[in-house]
Amino acid sequence: MTKNPSALFGNQDKYAGRILFGPYSARLKNSLISSIDHFKALEQIGTPIIPYIAAWLPEDGGHIWYEYAGARLTQLLGFHTTEVAGALRDNILTRCLYRIQKNPPAIDKIIRDKAQIERLRDAMRRMAERGGRVDAVYKFNVNGSPLWLKDLARVEVHDQDKIVLSYGTLIDVTKEMQLEETLVEVQCELEFHKENLEFLVEDRSRDLKKAQLDVLARLTQAAAFRDGGTGAHIKRLSQYCAVLGSSYGLSRNANTVLFHAVPMHDVGKLGIADSILQKQGALSHEEFEIIKTHCQVGSDLLSEGRSTLLQVAQAIALTHHERWDGSGYPNGLVDRQIPLASRITSICDVFDALSSERPYKKAWRFEDAADEIWRLRKTYFDPNLVDIFMKNIPQIRKVYQEAPLG
Ligand SMILES: [Fe+2]
Ligand SMILES: [Fe+2]
């Protein structure tokens, strides 16, 4: 005899699942009711754990619904229990798995963005069915603010009822993850400063350094000429980046490294055929795929460098087409996985490409180009750096007006 499900749910707390009133065994229903009972009691004692019970049919293409979700989840995400599955799916930004490696000891962090999650949904569901558990950290966008939830779930396959149940607990780890992001940022900064310090104190004569910079400048100019430019683009680019870098808080020395490294961002175009590089009109899919290789080519060209300058230049060459939301290339990195120097470069590179004339396009008005940068905040670009860019519009305009055109 199945227990009465309506006794479990008050008026404001409607049952939104399918099992209790569906064609399932009494055993499954009773076990579900006991679990919900248990979870409700857990919630009443004020635990920070948010329990949930998710369900799916293995033959239903991965459509997940919730038999139960702790009230705090709906508070955190700001929607009603019946909308849990849809709201979680719509607002998810990333899913992060931690894998512990024993030899050498390390923690691998595997981050998937929304598009990857969509693509891998079926495979992830099957993996959970086989492995019997889920252990991941999800990042959601709740009205523009990040929310991180750690998910620990036990997955049960009920063969008789042809259904899978996932008994899970969520913990709000937003504060911890924000701290981790800040730490990563600080670490990047420290490395940048440390390398930069080496660059400054290494025991080499000024002349040698100047000769090195001259050679690099010529190499960079060669790439710019082949790309149909006059070299003015890279001069403005360095200056825009320096404005952003110093306003961001980079030391004068770090900014000097950035200033000299940025012009090498497209040096990999030396490896792309003229017929593609100077083609008038739209590129085919294949041609664009070849253009995309300039990041890796540039990185390879700069990879042997032992100086900090070349190391920063290599990182910029490899990652200046990555985007904040993970839709860039070549590696689909997301947010702070992209080095700070590249996040600065990509904003200034796009701004200059828009606001200057190219063989294939007219120059956009300064204001329109700036609006476009603002529009791409959070998709292409680091929102924090876009804010800094906007704050510095007067200095950006000064560079724009004073630097040579072309
Ligand atoms: Fe590029
Ligand atoms: Fe560029």
Structure tokens at 137: 């950290």
Domains in the chain: ranges and CATH:
5-172 (3.30.450.20), 181-402 (1.10.3210.10)
Q: Are 225 and 231 in contact (CB under 8 A)?
A: yes
Ligand closest to the CA atom of residue 299: 1
114, 139, 235, 269: the catalytic one is 269
pTM for this prediction: 0.53
Residues 61 and 244: their CA atoms lie apart, in Å, by: 47
Q: Give pLDDT, residue 388.
A: 95
Of 308, 329, 326, nearest to 381 by C-alpha is: 326
Which region holds residue 61: left if phi is over 0, alpha if psi is between -120 and 50, else beta?
Answer: left
pLDDT digits (tens, 9 = 90+) for 46-89: 778 888 899 998 887 668 888 988 888 888 887 665 677 787 88
Alpha carbon of 241 to ligand 1 centroid (Å): 15
Alpha carbon of 243 to ligand 1 centroid (Å): 20
* Count of Cβ atoms closer than 10 Å to residue 312 Cβ: 28
Q: CA-based angle 197:201:207, to the nearest 5?
A: 120
- The letter for the amino acid at 290 is I
Alpha carbon of 320 to ligand 1 centroid (Å): 6
**3-state SS, residue 17:** coil
DSSP letters for 177-230: HHHHHHHHHHHHHHHHHHHHHHHHHSS--HHHHHHHHHHHHHHHHHHHHHTT--
Ligand closest to the CA atom of residue 237: 2
Alpha carbon of 102 to ligand 2 centroid (Å): 42
First to last CA, the chain: 82
Concerning whether 139 is annotated as a catalytic residue, the answer is: no
Quick one: how far is CA 64 from the chain centroid? 25
Alpha carbon of 294 to ligand 1 centroid (Å): 7
Q: Give pLDDT, residue 406.
A: 54
- The letter for the amino acid at 268 is G
Q: How many CA atoms lie within 13 A of 152 on its CB side?
A: 6
Residues near ligand 2 ion, CB 5 Å cutoff: 349
The list of the chain residues with pLDDT below 70 reads: 1-13, 61-62, 79-82, 99-108, 183-212, 214, 225-230, 404-406
pLDDT digits (tens, 9 = 90+) for 111-141: 788 888 888 878 888 888 887 888 888 998 8
Ligand closest to the CA atom of residue 234: 2
Alpha carbon of 16 to ligand 1 centroid (Å): 50
Contacts of 356 (CB under 8 A, 6+ apart): 232, 233, 236, 363, 405, 406
Q: Give pLDDT, residue 332.
A: 94
Positive or negative torsion for Cα 361, 367, 372, 378: positive
Alpha carbon of 110 to ligand 1 centroid (Å): 26
Alpha carbon of 167 to ligand 1 centroid (Å): 47
Q: Give pLDDT, residue 360.
A: 73
Ligand closest to the CA atom of residue 241: 2
Ligand closest to the CA atom of residue 229: 2
